[in-house]
């Protein structure tokens, strides 16, 4: 629910802000607001966005249509902003042309917003089943909540802009338009590179990446602008003292009180909305949308026989127990154990997937999930190779303990990418050093060796077995499962 609410709000906040400002700027003072014209323009834009996206996706034209849509929106934004500036905030000057450009801009913005939200809905699972259920109701509720906020935000913007100076509103419009131009220009650039209309270069990719990075802040900037305009109106609100009220005629007094009460209702609504929804947006963006992370593993050390032992009674709760072992060259090898059925059937595996890598697994109630691809693992199958199952780890269960040898863990070091600094020895000279400070290093059979000089490195390369003996190669994911 929250994801749909937040995404809907992110996509349609700009539409409310732009619509509110343009309605005020293109309407002559004392003239009738062009609400109907803007409503029709927004409706047409929304229909265009929601209809074009699935059609373009079906016929594999999504990139081309998306690029064309943003190109049109870019032209509309520049045209509308230019005419508003040239008219100098006087709507009667070039009124028809200015209104037409404003409607064109609004319709284009509505289409891009609808397209973006439609893409989000397509990529997400609106429901896991084809019947009406709680998930569908919550997701629809999130969209309706976002719609109610956006529907309030547009008239709020009109009300606040009408009570600010036209130059202030024009300045805000130009600033917001500049944000749109920067974002749509990068989208247009990306689309043209994807369509091979222009050459792909590192500079262009960097521009697109930076624009995409900061565009997530635009919704908060828009809300901040609305809040600042609301604050300016609040500071300039009508103030009537008790003495002035007592001197007024009853009809005039009621009229003045009505104006003050109406203003305060707008301000209270603005305060509540601009406090609640940014809080929800921040919660989703900073916390709820963060990718899942594995629990911190318990680091274990082998005994004198080179074995890591875990008591069976520690695993009797049926939960995932994660451990880690650091190899002599600094690779952090994670593995976990889980009780299959409350008995002595224990799944002992590396915390890595042969297909997805070392992002690991997490437990959600009675399910174990591969973080990389979100596949649910059948718990009794943990310990068997194949698919997204974690990579099996050779072990022995005896004497009420699960034993895993240091040698077996070392073989799986290449399944993991995390490396820490450890104390190491030059295999040629025997000199001790910290791995991160070693002048030279070399990989042999999947292991990393560190050297104090180029001379010792060359000696090692000439005859590795002379210094390290005949060691078995470490496993590699590209080789597939190498266990028995």
Q: What is the 3-state secondary structure (H, E, C) of the chain?
A: CHHHHHHHHHHHHHHHHHHHHHHHHCCCCCCCCCHHHHHHHHHHHHHHHHHHHHHHHHCCCHHHHHHHHHHHHHHHHHHHHHHHHHHCCCCCCCHHHHHHHHHHHHHHHHHHHHHHHHHHHHHCCCCCCCCCCHHHHHHHHHHHHHHHHHHHHHHHHHHHHHCCCHHHHHHHHHHHHHHHHHHHHHHHHHHHHHCCCCCCCHHHHHHHHHHHHHHCCHHHHHHHHHHHHHHHHHHCCCCCCHHHHHHCCHHHHHHHHHHHHHHHHHHHHHHHHHHHHHHHHHHHHHHHCCCCCCCCCEECCCCCCCEEEEEHHHHCCCCCEEEEEECCCCEEEEEEEEECCCCCCEEEEEEEECCCECCCEEEECCEEEECCCCCEECHHHCCCCCCCCEEECCCEEECCEEEEEHHHHHHCHHHCCCECCCEEECCCCCCEEEHHHCCEEEEECCEEEEECCHHHHHHHHHCHHHHHCCCCCCCCHHHCCCCC
pLDDT at 482 over 70: no
* Chain segment 236-283, per-residue pLDDT in tens: 777 776 777 677 778 877 787 787 788 888 888 888 888 888 898 899
Share of the chain above pLDDT 90, in %: 37
pLDDT at 181 over 90: yes
Query: How much is the pLDDT for 477?
Result: 65
Query: How much is the pLDDT for 355?
Result: 85
* Chain segment 169-180, per-residue pLDDT in tens: 999 999 999 999
pLDDT at 113 over 90: yes
Domains of the chain from N-terminus onward: 2-288 (no CATH), 298-415 (2.102.10), 423-479 (no CATH)
Q: 356: pLDDT confidence band, cut at 50, 70 and 90?
A: confident
The predicted model gives 342-354 an average pLDDT of 84
Query: How much is the pLDDT for 237?
Result: 75
pLDDT at 402 over 60: yes
* Chain segment 204-242, per-residue pLDDT in tens: 999 999 888 888 889 999 999 988 988 888 887 777 767
The C-alpha atoms of residue 359 and residue 362 are separated, in whole angstroms, by 10
The C-alpha atoms of residue 455 and residue 187 are separated, in whole angstroms, by 53
Query: How much is the pLDDT for 106?
Result: 95
Query: How much is the pLDDT for 483?
Result: 59
Query: How much is the pLDDT for 190?
Result: 93
Query: How much is the pLDDT for 269?
Result: 86
pLDDT at 30 over 60: no
Q: 70: pLDDT confidence band, cut at 50, 70 and 90?
A: very high
Query: How much is the pLDDT for 55?
Result: 94
The C-alpha atoms of residue 75 and residue 218 are separated, in whole angstroms, by 20
Query: How much is the pLDDT for 147?
Result: 92
Query: How much is the pLDDT for 337?
Result: 93
pLDDT at 19 over 90: yes
* Chain segment 72-96, per-residue pLDDT in tens: 999 999 999 988 888 765 655 567 8
- Token pair in block for residue 176: 């917001």
Using CA atoms, how far residue 116 sits from 120, 139, 278, in Å, is 6, 17, 20
Query: How much is the pLDDT for 165?
Result: 82
Is the CB of residue 277 less than 8 Å from the CB of residue 149? yes
- State the number of CA atoms in the 13 A half-sphere of 186 facing the CB: 17
Q: 386: pLDDT confidence band, cut at 50, 70 and 90?
A: confident
What's the pTM?
0.75
The predicted model gives 53-71 an average pLDDT of 93
Q: 103: pLDDT confidence band, cut at 50, 70 and 90?
A: very high
pLDDT at 484 over 60: no
* Chain segment 428-454, per-residue pLDDT in tens: 998 999 988 889 888 888 888 999 999
Arithmetic mean of pLDDT over the chain = 87
The C-alpha atoms of residue 32 and residue 437 are separated, in whole angstroms, by 75
- Chain-centre distance for alpha carbon 389: 27
């Amino acid at each position: 629910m929250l994801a749909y609410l937040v995404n809907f709000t992110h996509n349609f906040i700009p539409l409310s802000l732009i619509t509110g400002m343009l309605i005020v700027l293109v309407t002559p003072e004392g003239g009738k607001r062009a609400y109907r014209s803007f409503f029709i323009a927004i409706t047409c834009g929304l229909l265009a966005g929601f209809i074009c996206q699935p059609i373009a996706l079906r016929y594999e034209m999504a990139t081309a249509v998306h690029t064309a849509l943003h190109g049109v929106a870019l032209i509309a934004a520049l045209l509308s902003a230019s005419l508003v500036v040239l008219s100098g905030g006087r709507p009667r000057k070039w009124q028809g042309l200015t209104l037409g450009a404003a409607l064109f801009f609004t319709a284009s913005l509505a289409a891009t917003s609808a397209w973006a939200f439609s893409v989000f809905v397509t990529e997400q699972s609106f429901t896991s089943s084809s019947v009406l259920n709680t998930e569908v109701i919550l997701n629809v509720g999130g969209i309706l909540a976002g719609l109610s906020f956006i529907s309030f935000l547009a008239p709020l913007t009109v009300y606040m802009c009408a009570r600010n100076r036209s130059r202030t509103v024009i300045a805000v419009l130009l600033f917001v338009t500049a944000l749109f131009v920067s974002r749509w220009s990068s989208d247009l650039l990306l689309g043209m590179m994807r369509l091979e209309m222009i050459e792909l270069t590192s500079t262009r990719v960097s521009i697109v990446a930076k624009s995409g990075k900061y565009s997530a802040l635009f919704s908060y900037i828009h809300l901040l602008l609305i809040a600042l305009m609301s604050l300016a109106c609040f500071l300039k609100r009508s103030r009537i003292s008790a003495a002035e009220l007592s001197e007024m005629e009853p009809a005039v007094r009621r009229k003045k009180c009505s104006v003050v009460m109406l203003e305060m209702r707008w301000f209270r609504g603005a305060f509540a909305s601009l406090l609640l929804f940014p809080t929800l947006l921040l919660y989703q963006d900073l916390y709820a949308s963060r990718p899942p992370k594995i629990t911190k593993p318990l680091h274990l050390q082998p005994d004198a026989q080179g074995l890591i032992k875990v008591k069976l009674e520690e695993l009797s709760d049926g939960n995932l127990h994660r451990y880690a072992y650091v190899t002599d060259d600094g690779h952090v090898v994670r593995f976990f154990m889980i009780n299959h059925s409350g008995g002595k059937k224990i799944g002992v595996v590396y915390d890595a997937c042969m297909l997805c890598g070392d992002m690991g697994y997490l437990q959600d109630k009675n399910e174990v999930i591969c973080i990389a691809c979100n596949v649910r693992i059948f718990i009794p199958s943990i310990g068997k190779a194949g698919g997204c199952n974690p990579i099996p780890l050779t072990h022995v269960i005896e004497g009420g303990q699960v034993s895993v040898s240091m040698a077996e863990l070392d073989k799986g070091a290449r399944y993991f990418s995390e490396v820490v600094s450890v104390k190491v020895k030059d295999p040629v000279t025997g000199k001790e050093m910290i791995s991160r400070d070693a002048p030279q290093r070399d990989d042999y059979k999947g292991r990393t060796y560190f050297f104090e000089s180029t001379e010792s490195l060359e000696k090692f390369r000439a005859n590795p077995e002379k210094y390290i003996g005949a060691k078995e190669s470490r496993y590699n994911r590209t080789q597939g499962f190498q266990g028995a």
